[in-house]
Structure 1
């Protein structure tokens, strides 16, 4: 399907466009140029969407860490001590905190999507509120969880 101007409208003729809004494809067809981030205004729902995808990928990496933990458990006390030594280090605790943050946010974003799938919260104001709420929920739950771990002495630096 080729792009064609409206009948009698010479201003929309893509072959005469000098603004750079159209590009000629290798097959010779003239197509409108897709908008880029310079044109779009930033929204919190965009951030929520990007974070949801990133946290999903990070949780896949976290699943690999859980498998490594189970393998260390299966290979005996020496392997398990090595694994817990690495994961109990400050860098390991930072990784676990990050995974907790990813899990809490991904859960909240999943609930947000369930609400949207039900046809609710789709106005810009409510969508922004749900996106902001899911980000805040993820941070608050993660910090509270790890604060509880440190305060009860289950984790220490």
Structure 2
């Protein structure tokens, strides 16, 4: 698989995890202000995810989705971590941890795939900036 396809699939999977996680959390969160913030995050993850999928398909690559095992594992972990605490503070903390992991992976992939097409690296950079902004925005809910 080429560096372009690998980087695009990373972006696709990372943003898909964001979409899936935020969808699940919107159903759990009770605070309307926080829910509004999550909807905003969801829209951005969906936009990045759709762009990555389009770029993959337009370049003749198939998107490699998140494995069923990882989806189930994440679903169960979110349910367990929110079973006794559904507060915006607790959920924000969970999301900040996830976004920090996303930032680390994004920086590593930008360095690893420096030779990828400019448009693809730009999309990775957009995802990185989005994750960094998420962290700052979520701090308000801690």
TM-score exceeds 0.5: no
Q: TM-score, normalised by structure 2?
A: 0.38
Pick the structure with greater CA Rg: 1
Q: Which has the higher helix share?
A: 2
Higher relative contact order (CA 8 A, sep 6+): 2
